[in-house]
Chains A and B, each alone.
Chain A
Amino acid sequence: MLAETDPHIKGILPLVCVGKNEEFLAAIITPYHFASHGLRVDSPFGYSTPLFSKVLNEGGSQHMYTAHSIHADLLRSLSEHISDIRLHNAPDIWDVRAYSFLDWQIDTIHTHEILRTENNWEKIDQDLQTIIQQGEEKYSLHADVNKTWDDLFVKRTNHIHPIVLRKRLDWMRQTGTGRLFTLTDSNNLLVACTLAILSQPDGRAYLWGTTFPKAGSESNALPVLLWQTCINLLRDFQRVDLGTSPNIGVSQVKDKLGAKLLPTFITKFNKHNKEAPTPVSVNE
């Protein structure tokens, strides 16, 4: 889908790491495009992340070196094929030593996750509960298709070309892998919207591109949008990833919703800008 919808993507590079008995250990699938210095991976749509066999996670936080070595092999192989890489690792990837020891640049950005529990409402901060209750009288949530709202959403998401995003939205709707949730006021005007990317294999829904076409509506509309969307999604999914935001106000609303703060890592490698490893300093 990524390659079909974006004319700049020239191909997909799948790398798989298998054991001696051909058993699956790890993989990474990255769409790439041509850049001035070679091939480039930079997908700003959802997580772009390595996958590991469950066998490698059996030790929990112990005996992690094997998984680390496989991760490092995968990254070495990826960097042999692609000269400029940017990955956004899923929150499950909490051990980034493979990147660190291979001198990749690591940036941290937080997301939030809500789990399906018996008492999701009780976990919400009381002040926010009041805002949501008042907001529910003013706003309505929709998941149906509306061309005007689709247009507004794709126009406001400025890090992906509107035509590309529009194609992706259509594709996801056709395949049941995405839904655009919109919040409207009493005049049926769009106040806020978010795209839910629905991932059946891991039982999670990922919110992406949350936006507020109506200026100044964040503080009242955001809690309603997130809460109503979560209620909707938690019927079918165990977890909802609320997405990253550089705005601390937005991020704190997610805290107050009772969502768990999770770090995610954007890891970058550039063959041409690679610095020599910093030597280990032993001094006092």
Chain B
Amino acid sequence: MTLKIEVREISTENKEWHELVHSSRQNILFVDQRFLNIWTTKGTSNHLMLLGCYDESGCLVGGQAIIHRKFMGLRIQGSFNISYRCTPILAGHIRENSPEQYEILSALARVTRKKFPYLKVEFHPNLTDTRAYLNNGWHAEPQYAHTWDLRNVDNILQNMHRKKRSYVRKALETYEFNVERDKKIIDEFLRLYTETMAKFSWCPNENWSESFHHKANWLLDEKLLLPCTCRAKTGELISVALVILSPENRTAYGWLIGYDHAYASYEIPASLQYYSATILAANFDVLDLGDGPNANLFAYKDSLGTASHPFWVLTTKDTKKWIKVLDFLRDTRQSLQKLFRQRIHAFDS
């Protein structure tokens, strides 16, 4: 018998969402109401669309949270540096790859397609069946998360490539590694991160920085952020790695890393990530370092001895074209802003 599903927008205050998330096998911090609220307030122009899937008896059996912005009357999905963004979640009693799961995912695939001009959905790794999306005209392609198993933390160093292992060992002797929870570290991180991202021709603007402070401070207050630092013996800060903690599924997620480029880049990030793994091992099973979106990052993460775990990325048709257009508009705006600032500066001097 086919399950009839109705998809409705629901409020973030809805208690049912909380219950759904907690019963779900996709229970991760990134779908928690508090997390979603923080990610869509203060300093951001982000909005949250929370979709609930109700069965015929009115039970909430699935849902999806989509953070987006509004641009020229359209809802546009942003990239948020969080793992498994927009993953559908299913109530705990929905069996894996069952016809019920198919109907819920089909309903979400249909409804979200109508609400957004394009959309990119990253499935939680335990959602392995993409047929519902494929049959609704979406495209499915796997990406691969690089993870360390923290239950065997002693093996991590052994599994690294020989050279990487020797760099890490050397760095552990040469530098000081610590967890620093003082909020000042967020400012320090931002300084280093700006330097790191300059390599990719990107500079955080005022809005981004304000929003980042808000999120990072909230995560710190909630003890959901592990800021690991690497300092020279003289006390000079070299690198900060921010790890988001998801106690729900005993998984920690490598979020952002910034470092001083005056120091050797091949030893610092790997050492800091290894250090964070040793700290996390007491309370977490997995450290997820994210995907390797290009051959260089794949090579780097593979050399750390991580395991590759596939997860599905579902996209609507023409997503690449939309992203190209929006990137072009963003770049044009940034160039104009830069030009404008230069003119003002020239005028002042």
Question: Which chain A residues have a beta carbon within 8 Å of chain B's beta carbons?
Answer: 60-65, 68, 72, 94-97, 100-101, 106-110, 246, 248, 251-252, 255, 261, 263, 278-284
Contact = CB atoms under 8 A, between A and B. Distances in A.
Interface in B79-120: 79-81, 97-99, 102
A108 B138 CA distance: 10
B323 A284 contact: no
Contacts of B316: none
B54 interface: no
Given A97-B144, A283-B79, A63 B128 contact: no
B343 to A, nearest CB: 24
B208 interface: yes
A65 B302 contact: yes
A248 B309 contact: no
A193 B69 CA distance: 52
B306 A62 contact: yes
B308 A61 contact: yes
Interface of B: 78-81, 97-99, 102, 128-131, 134-135, 139-142, 144, 159, 197, 200, 202, 208, 211, 292-295, 298-299, 302-303, 305-310, 320, 323-324, 327, 330
A280 B309 contact: no
B131 A110 contact: yes
B202 A100 contact: no
Contacts of A65: 298-299, 302-303
B308 A64 contact: yes
Given A62-B306, A96-B142, A278-B323, A284 B131 contact: no
A61, A95, A96, A251 pick with most chain B CB within 10 angstroms: A61
A107 B159 contact: no
Contacts of B293: 280
Nearest to B204: A284
Given A108-B141, A280-B294, 19 more contacts: A62-B308, A63-B302, A63-B305, A65-B302, A68-B295, A94-B142, A96-B141, A97-B292, A100-B141, A106-B141, A110-B130, A246-B135, A248-B102, A263-B128, A263-B142, A281-B79, A281-B323, A282-B202, A283-B79
B97 A255 contact: yes
A101 B144 CA distance: 13
Given A252-B102, A263-B130, A278-B323, A283 B202 contact: yes
A101 B297 CA distance: 11
B91 to A, nearest CB: 19
Contact of B307 (A61, A281, A283): A61
Contacts of A109: 134
B274 to A, nearest CB: 15
Given A61-B307, A65-B302, A110-B131, A284 B141 contact: no
Nearest to A262: B128
Given A252-B102, A255-B97, A284-B208, A261 B128 contact: yes
A271 B294 CA distance: 21
A63 B78 CA distance: 32
A233 B211 CA distance: 60
Nearest to B211: A284
15 contacts: A61-B307, A62-B305, A62-B308, A64-B308, A95-B144, A96-B141, A108-B139, A110-B131, A261-B128, A278-B323, A281-B323, A282-B197, A283-B78, A284-B80, A284-B208
A64 B141 contact: no
Contacts of B308: 61-62, 64, 95
Contacts of A100: 141
Nearest to A246: B135
A282 B256 CA distance: 12
A61 B305 CA distance: 10
A284 B79 contact: yes
A101, A263, A279 pick with most chain B CB within 10 angstroms: A263
A283 B327 CA distance: 9
A110 B98 CA distance: 15
Given A96-B141, A283-B202, A101 B306 contact: no
A97 B298 contact: yes
B130 A282 contact: no
B242 to A, nearest CB: 14
A210 to B, nearest CB: 17
Nearest to A72: B295
A94 to B, nearest CB: 6
A284 B128 CA distance: 28
Contact of A248 (B79, B131, B320): B131
A108 B293 CA distance: 19
A255 B324 CA distance: 39
A157 B294 CA distance: 40
Given A280-B293, A282-B200, A94 B310 contact: yes
A101 B97 contact: no
A60 B298 CA distance: 16
A275 to B, nearest CB: 8
Contacts of B305: 62-63
Given A107-B139, A281-B79, A61 B309 contact: yes
A45 to B, nearest CB: 23
B80 A278 contact: no
A280 B81 CA distance: 13
B333 to A, nearest CB: 11
Contacts of B78: 283-284
B211 to A, nearest CB: 8
Given A97-B298, A280-B294, A284-B208, A248 B129 contact: no
Nearest to A283: B79
B159 A62 contact: yes
A255 to B, nearest CB: 6
Contacts of B140: 108, 263
A246 B157 CA distance: 45
A37 to B, nearest CB: 24
